[in-house]
Structure 1
Amino acid sequence: MWRSWHALRSIPRLREILMVVARHGFGHALGSLNLPFATRLLHMFRTHAGGPLSQPQRLRRMLEDLGPTFVKFGQLLATRPDLLPQEYIDELGGLHDTVDPLPFETLAPVLRAELGKEPGELFASIDPAPIGSASIAQVHRARTHAGVEVVVKIQRPGIERTIERDLKVIFLIAHIIREIEDLSHFDPMGTARVFEHAIRRELDFRHELHNAARIARHAKEPRVRIPATYSELSSRRVLTLEFLPGATLAQSDAPPALRHDLARELTSAMFRQIFVEGVFHADPHPGNVLVLPDGALGLIDFGSAGRLPPSSIGELVGFLTSLIRRDYQLLARQIMKSGYAAHTTDQKELAAELMECLDPYYDAPLAEIDLGPIIHAVFGILLRHRIRIPTQYVLLGRALVILEGTVRRLDPGFALIEELTPHAKRVFMDRWKPQSLLREARLDLYDAVTTLRELPGVVGGILHRLNEGNLRTRIAIEDIRNIETRLDRLNSQLPLGLLASSVLLSGTLFLVLGKEADNLATVALGAYVIAGVLGLWFLWPHRK
């Protein structure tokens, strides 16, 4: 919680953010957050409800106005169909991270600080005009002293401070949203932490260097090129890669005779990264795919990469097995186990929706099946059932959807799922090879032995806490807020009930004594009347 209170030091930025939020017609959300200045801003912008734009469009424009951190946050949300409906995913997918370039003189100190030499000592030449400019970095062409053409990505000065400031505000808002009952299941703090982790990785260019080097090391497709890396000319804020000449797929018109072959090569390379290496390019859109002069394809921009450990690949094989058997109950159970299901998620209802969505495709020819709509539909089902998907599967689904769009640009008739089938079969068969089964058996045995070794300590800890009286249990009650309201009401009425009881008891004493004194009997009757009125007053609120 310290993050949230620490963010109050960023109040000027918070005020600016709230003004942008209200200006774009999201003032109704401010009333729920109970933030400083929210009520006044809600009144100021009440008449500006957003105009003719849809709510997803207004959200995109709002994020663009808020600056680079929030554009990056919107791009993250565009990868989370388990959190947002598809119309928001589609709109946020159009967020562009482009800004006006900085003079090279402003970036030269970063080169000196990171690599310890003057730009002229590091490179034989460097073009001061950038070939790309984004919110975090600029990219310049250069030539090494060995005569190799390279691109140099240099981080913008001060961008880390800007992002740190905005992260504090994001955590503050996430902390407050967590307290809103209708929104708490979206896990706003978890989403903020995922974004924090992603943006910090993006700020450290060594991760991108490692991604490119690992993918290049295992690339086997001759017509798909991965740029070479230069670790001696790279650091946390500087990245140097081989320059690949050519136009992006979005700008190029590849020869028709090559289109189908290039689509197959790109698909094969991506599936190898996913199913064999476990590290894959997570953003293969046409702007990140180059058509080289010799007709080959080049992949660039490895800042967004997904990772699938062997356990996740094993889960994918399990999903595939359930689909082949059309066992939707098992599939639903596997999904709930691998994801983060709410306690209200009903496995039978989930299985029924999955069957309704997927079963019609069994009789369709593979060439007629589009993978993108299937992934969107499944993610939509999981969203309705409040199942949050692990990040690696979200990135995988997004990469496959983007890949399908990219290869369709090369060859409109290309069926991605038809190419996926042999790769999936190969992974499935490898899973059941004796050496694979033996490796998994060893891992399972190791896990079992580790658990057995830890079990006495765990049980001893529980018994010790029980003996000390420090064992606590947490019980989730569905209607806890209603119970709290009733307890508060009873607490406020308790003094009244005690007063009524006291008057009633006094009346009874007066009645007993009144047998010998008429005036006491009259007082007793009055006491009963007062006690009755107080009792009705006490009981009346509980009839509502």
Structure 2
Amino acid sequence: MATFKEFLRVAEITVKDKTSGKRMKEIRQILAKHHAMSGLTPEKAVAILEDLGPTYVKIGQIASNRSDLLPKGYCDAFEKLRADVPPMPFDTVVECLETSFDASWQTVFSSIEEKPLGSASIAQVHKATLHDGTVVAVKVRRPGIAQEMAEDITLIKHLIALAEFSNMAPDNLMLTIDDLVSELERTTAEELDFTIELENLKRFHEEIKDQQGVTSPLPYPEYSTDRVLVMEYVTGTLLDNKKRLQDLGKNLPAIGERIAQSYVTQVIDDGFFHADPHPGNIMVNDDGIVWIDLGMTGTLTSSERAIVGKVFRGVALNDPYALKEALLSLAKADGPVDHGMLLEQMGGMLDTYASADLSDINIGMAFVDVIEILRTQNLSLPPSFTMLARGFLTLEGVLTDIAPSINVVDIVSVHVKKQMWTLSYLEGKAQELFTSTAASAEAMATLPSQLSRTLDMLDRGQLKVAMDMKLPHDVKGTLYQVASLLALALISAGLFVGSSIVCTTPMQPQIFDVPLLGALGYLGAFVLGVYVIVRAVAIRHQQVNDEKIK
């Protein structure tokens, strides 16, 4: 049954929802078409998003990177969504350009091709030429898409509140959905602002400049705005056109090796990586590979990169404690954490990987497994780490298709070992050593006074110790049984001793020259003694035969 709080939430969102009733009617029809009220599955969710339109498809694609918030089945299903949509009319593109430049498009470009190079839910790309003859790619944001996506997110909030109210979605999905929607709002806001992608392009191009045979389009900031992004026009064949690459005589294993080396360098060495490395975002030409579409990137600080290294080393050394400590230094707790159970889960996962061949280990899947374990303990990792997990998962899928012999684990291991001898890493370790040494010295200096105060409190009776032992029900039941038998044995012994004392007196009434009270006491002691012995033998029998103690 829905709670009053859930009812109020639905009412609040309904009041704030200013979208048209027509759109709500369309959504209701789509939900009815897919029988959403009878239950929601990953496959059904994908079909609903596709029918709702390109904005919802884009939201589903973004959601596929949040395996810390959504169950793995939903993330895998959402990853299959595609956001290709019919292109905007060229007149609309021209209007968008002139509105953005506040001038005629001819003031910037000498020509623009009417046929788009590609069209997606947020923007479409056209080939154009600057007045100096430079060929560029122009990415134009669809008009009204920002407002449309904001309204659609509000509608999603409304639908989620209704789903929670009517209990039509799984509980594990509902528990994390608020965090997901907040993340969607942040991510879509970034994707809609092309100045952010412009900065991503600039930084990414600078970071990979030393990677041989790897590049990305250069942006043109002087011609770009928040709604128009002008960048270098690159030619080549997309990686998803495998047959074309084979016809051109490209060495696919060599391409796969270069892609893997580049991606691991981005993550481990640079801490700035392409968050969506699917085949449609990687181009191959005579110069090597070109990373395109930098709308979604991930960032790791130097300390986070060091922790990623610790995670990999924990897996490599089969050390569940090191893995647990590394992850806890990053994770955010949203509820109680059973540290013993978490350590046991980490150990179980590592045992699985320890029995597998190195070439069979999938880093992306290992990351996803870790995230799933953390979710069971009310722990979540920063978005950059969940993006990293999905990134590796996507990358390894690409390599399986074009170069299955490449072992990403080996490449990561080499980069992690190399990083251990860099100046920044050694400085970090020295700082950690200094900090821990200083903390230990301070603790040692205060230990005598703390111990003295503790003993003083103990002497005065001011010290209290509280314990909370969480034991399984079977163990508790056994302890209760033993305690009960012990109490009955003491009562039996007490009756026997007491009866013996009574029998030495001339207490009346008597039976066979023995005080009646003493005789009854002996009888009670005998009965209790026999019962205790029988129960003790029965418990021992159940224990030896591994039976449940009753």
What SS does the corresponding residue of 2:65 show, helix, strand or coil? coil
Look up the equivalent residue of 1:238 and give its one-letter code. V
| Equivalent residue for 1:22, pick from 32, 42, 54 | 32
Q: CA deviation at 1:389?
A: 2.6
Secondary structure in structure 2 of the residue aligned to 1:128:
coil
Aligned to 1:128: 114
TM-aligned CA deviation for residue 397 of structure 1: 0.7
Decide which moves more: 376-385 or 246-255: 376-385
In 1, the alpha carbon distance for the partners of 2:432 and 2:97 equals 47
Structure 2: distance between partners of 1:369 and 1:440 = 31
Equivalent AA in structure 1 for residue 181 of structure 2: A
Q: 2: CA distance between counterparts of 1:242 and 1:356?
A: 49
The answer to whether 1:202 aligns with 2:194 is no
Map of 2:459 onto structure 1: none
Alignment partner for residue 10 of structure 1, among 7, 11, 19? 19
- Rounded Cα–Cα distance in structure 2 between residues aligned with 1:184 and 1:134: 28
Tell me the secondary structure at the aligned position of residue 422 of structure 2: helix
The 5 Å alignment of 1:205-224 reads 205-219=194-208, 220-224=210-214
Residue type of the alignment partner of 1:215: F
What are the equivalent positions in structure 2 for 1:100-115 lying under 5 Å apart? 100-115=86-101
- Deviation of 1:311 after TM superposition, in Å, equals 2.7
TM-score (norm 1): 0.71
CA separation in 1, counterparts of 2:159 and 2:416?
42
Distance 1:432 1:118 in 2: 50
- Structure-2 change in CA distance of 1:225 and 1:443 (3 Å): farther
Report matched runs for 1:437-448 at 5 Å. 437=429
Instruction: Work out whether 1:95 is the aligned partner of 2:104.
Output: no
C-alpha contact 1:101 1:133 (8 A) present in aligned 2:
yes
CA contact (8 A) 2:268 2:305 kept: yes
CA distance in 2, matches of 1:176, 1:333: 39
User: What does 1:115-514 correspond to in 2, within 5 Å?
Assistant: 115-174=101-160, 182=171, 186-219=175-208, 220-251=210-241, 252-254=244-246, 258-292=251-285, 294=286, 296-362=288-354, 364-430=356-422, 433-437=425-429
Query: Residue deviations 1:425-472, cap 9 Å, x none?
Result: 123343885433456689999xxxxxxxxxxxxxxxxxxxxxxxxxxx
Moved more, 239-248 or 11-20: 11-20
- 1:147 and 1:279 map into 2 onto residues whose CA distance is 32
CA distance in 2, matches of 1:138, 1:442: 53
Further displaced range: 411-420 or 233-242: 411-420
Per-residue Cα deviation, 1:182-210 (whole angstroms, up to 9, x for no partner): 45873322211110010011100111111
Maintained 8 Å contact 1:280/1:306: yes
Q: What TM-score does the superposition give when structure 2 sets the normalisation length? A: 0.70
Distance 1:305 1:120 in 2: 33
Q: Considering only CA atoms, is the larger Rg found in Structure 1 or Structure 2?
A: 2
How much does 1:328 deviate? Answer: 1.4
Aligned AA (1:25): H
3-state SS of paired residue (1:221) = coil
Looking at structure 2, the residues matched to 151 and 279 of structure 1 have their Cα atoms a distance apart, in angstroms, of 24
CA distance in 2, matches of 1:337, 1:438: 19
Separation of aligned partners in 2, 1:235 and 1:443: 46
Counterpart CA distance in 2 for 1:440 and 1:213 is 33
Measured at CA, do residues 6 and 276 of structure 1 come closer, stay the same or move farther in structure 2, by a change above 3 Å?
farther
Structure 2: distance between partners of 1:163 and 1:217:
32
C-alpha change, 1:11 and 1:108, in structure 2 (3 Å) is closer
Taking a change above 3 Å as real, the CA distance of residues 184 and 377 of structure 1, as seen in their structure-2 partners, is closer
Q: Percent identity?
A: 29
Number of residue equivalences:
422
CA contact 2:205–2:218 (8 Å) conserved in 1:
yes
Alignment correspondent of 1:455: none
SS at match of 2:405: coil
What letter corresponds to residue 9 of structure 1 in structure 2? K
Identify if the C-alpha distance between structure 1 residues 275 and 354 changes in structure 2 by more than 3 Å, giving closer, same or farther.
same
Deviation at 1:140, TM superposition (A): 0.5
Distance of aligned partners of 1:431 and 1:348 in 2 relative to their CA distance in 1, 3 Å threshold:
farther
Instruction: Check conservation: 1:306, 1:396, Cα contact below 8 A.
Output: yes
Distance in 2 separating the partners of 1:160 and 1:315: 36
Instruction: Report the Cα distance in structure 2 between the residues aligned to 1:170 and 1:131, rounded to whole angstroms.
Output: 31
Is the CA contact (8 Å cut-off) linking 2:205 and 2:216 kept in structure 1? yes
**Structure 2: stretches of 5+ with no match in the other structure:** 1-8, 438-550
In the alignment, is residue 63 of structure 1 matched against residue 55 of structure 2? no
Alignment root-mean-square deviation, CA:
3.0
Decide whether the 8 Å contact of 1:81 with 1:383 is kept in 2: no
Contact 1:221-1:268 at 8 Å conserved across structures: no
Residue 186 of structure 1 aligns to which amino acid in structure 2? L
Q: Distance in 2 between matches of 1:366 and 1:173?
A: 45
- Aligned-pair distance for 1:233? 1.3
The answer as to whether partners of 2:318 and 2:354 remain within 8 angstroms in 1 is no
Letter in 2 for 1:300: I
Contact kept in structure 2, 1:3 and 1:168, CA below 8 Å? no
TM-superposed CA distance for 1:6, in Å, is 4.8
Q: Give the drift of 1:157.
A: 1.1
Report the CA distance between 1:404 and its aligned residue: 1.4
